[in-house]
Amino acid sequence: MTENSPSEGTFHLMGGEFTNAGSASSELKSTLIKVGVEKSIVRRVAIAAFEAEMNVIIHAVAGTLRYEITTEAVTITVTDMGPGIENINQAMQPGYSTAPDWVREMGWGAGMGLPNISKHSDLFKIDSVVGEGTTLEIIFDLKEKNADS
Ligand SMILES: Nc1ncnc2c1ncn2[C@@H]1O[C@H](COP(=O)(O)OP(=O)(O)OP(=O)(O)O)[C@@H](O)[C@H]1O
Ligand SMILES: [Mg+2]
């Protein structure tokens, strides 16, 4: 996508668009490798970005995935236009999924996306309003935190 630079960018995601599913997270992964982010961090970002991207495609009408890379951190913000999540605590439970059968037949709907995002990131915030939409903020530290700093 031409609007994306190595340090920040936006991908547009469409609900139900399975043909290009995963392309935003894989493009972000290539960018992180290009700018020299450590392999193990690239892997964690790619997993979290992929789960967040798939959740918009599977569960939402449409949304965006934005990223920002600084010397300090990689920040991913995923916002969608609804339907929103009624009970976030329930949605965060491993194994909880509302994915319909046709989605499960494609191999999705294990209910592990949100728990995996949380597990692989250094900071994970999720906000949702039913009828409005869901926003995820996912942060990965690029610098070791020093106890004496
Ligand atoms: N962006 C979203 N909009 C609306 N509902 C969502 C969104 N993301 C998650 N959910 C709800 O939270 C549930 C749990 O999400 P999670 O990603 O953990 O599992 P899943 O998407 O159902 O399955 P998997 O991610 O393992 O393929 C979903 O089944 C859905 O009900
Ligand atoms: Mg999911």
CB 15 near ligand 1, within 6 Å: no
CA of 115 to the centre of ligand 2 (A): 9
CA-114 nearest atom, ligand 1: 18
Judge whether 31 lies within some domain: yes
Q: Please write the tens of the pLDDT for every residue from 133-148.
A: 999 999 999 987 666 6
Segment 29-57, tens digit of pLDDT? 999 999 999 999 999 999 999 999 999 99
pTM above 0.75, yes or no: yes
Residue 92 Cα: closest atom of ligand 1: 18
What are the b/e assignments for 106-122, b being 16+ CB within 10 Å? eebbebebbbbbbebbe
Number of domains the chain is built from: 1
The greatest distance separating any two alpha carbons of the chain, rounded to the nearest whole angstrom, comes to: 53
- Distance between Cα 7 and ligand 2 center (Å): 26
Note whether residue 3 is domain-resident.
Answer: no
Arithmetic mean of pLDDT, 96-124: 96
Q: What is the helix (H) or strand (E) element at residue 87, kind and residue range?
A: none
Q: What CATH code is carried by the domain that includes residue 101?
A: 3.30.565.10
Rounded average pLDDT over 98-113: 95
